[in-house]
Amino acid sequence: MRAVRINLTPSVPVGTRIAAVDELKGLAIALILVYHCGAVLGAANVLHGEIGVDIFLILSGFTLAAYSAEMPLRDFALRRFLRIYPSYWLALGLFGYLDKLYLGGPRPWASVWRHILAIHAFSKPEYFSDFADAFWFISMIAAAYIVFACIRRRLDNLSLVFAVCGSLTTLAVLLYQQFNHTGGLISLAVRIPSFFVGVVGGRLLGSGTAEIRFNLFLGLGLLCFYYLTFFRGIVCNYTIPATGIVLAWIGLRPHVLKIPGGRMLLASFALTGVISYELFLFHQPLVRDMNLFTYHVFLKNPEPTQRQIMGGIVVALGITLAISVIVHLSVSRLFRLFGSRSTLRAAPVH
């Protein structure tokens, strides 16, 4: 079977943190914050800030493929667990407590244990956004880590990667459509290719080698998207523009560094990117649910003005920032605690 062999000089230094990745995470969370805060204010979604989720997925796939492909499975699982679950469980516990205290009582146990395991997005539609609208992303990224763990030794075969991407996207679409799960369909299923775009990019820039084989795997992977487009009415609209944003940022970055204030601008995005996961977890219920609850119940104001809601959003974002910094520093200590192995020290925390 004919194949095309791709050979590049690896440009991802092993064991170093890439500034552009942190900057893009900062951009991604900024887009998401604008999107969610705008929704609270009733503003039009002109920027389509939800595309920030796809940027996160691309960056996640990229860093995994660049840094974690050769890592022992036990160390890989430990790093991914520490990066995702401690911060998530803190957010889950906080909002579960606040909901019980202020917003209508405890959740059903069926929802609680699914959220604890982060499998709620693959369950009943009523659990998809039960604790917080954005928590479905945790289910997706946890599943993506499991898939990556299964294929990470085969990343040199891009045809296989395309086949896995296409088959998983098709399976997710069919199941969500079968069970009339609109949230899972439009939020999760159509975003699966974004993660694999990052995996391919990370493989090429991390190892410098990959191979595209013109075989059944490649054909089936591409046919999946033909089937989804023309027979299921599904187009993965987010992946291409999100990839464009990532590439445009990388291309413009050297020019931004040359302008006055450019370094400071990029540094601000990078610093935000470092705590972007925690910002993602904590911001939405605070800027929306607790913000409006404060006005309706504590301040006895059933119809706050736009300016008042904006003021509440600013306060909520300040609280979110403080919580995110504290949680990120605490989780970072867990990494240092379990970081005595050389394999854990070799790769940066992303």
CA-to-CA dists, residue 210 to 12, 158, 222, angstroms: 15, 7, 18
Which candidate, 159, 157, 165, 142, places its Cα nearest to that of 69? 157
**pLDDT tens-digit profile of 46-74?**
999 999 999 999 999 999 998 888 889 99
Q: Which helix (H) or strand (E) element contains residue 211?
A: strand 209-213
**Bridge partners, 210 (sequence order):** 6
What residue segments make up the domains of the chain, in order of their start? 3-346
pLDDT for the residue 5: 67
**pLDDT tens-digit profile of 286-328?**
999 999 999 988 899 999 999 999 999 999 999 999 999 999 9
Say whether pLDDT at 346 is over 50: no
**Average pLDDT of the residues of the chain:** 91
Residue 139 binned pLDDT confidence (cut-offs 50, 70, 90): very high
**pLDDT tens-digit profile of 213-265?**
888 999 999 999 999 999 999 999 999 999 999 999 999 999 999 999 999 99
Which segment of 102-116, 127-141, 172-186, 315-329 scores lowest on mean pLDDT? 102-116
Q: Which helix (H) or strand (E) element contains residue 3?
A: strand 3-7
Which candidate, 6, 69, 65, 47, places its Cα nearest to that of 213? 6
Q: What pTM was computed for the model?
A: 0.93
Average pLDDT (208-213) is 78
pLDDT for the residue 345: 44
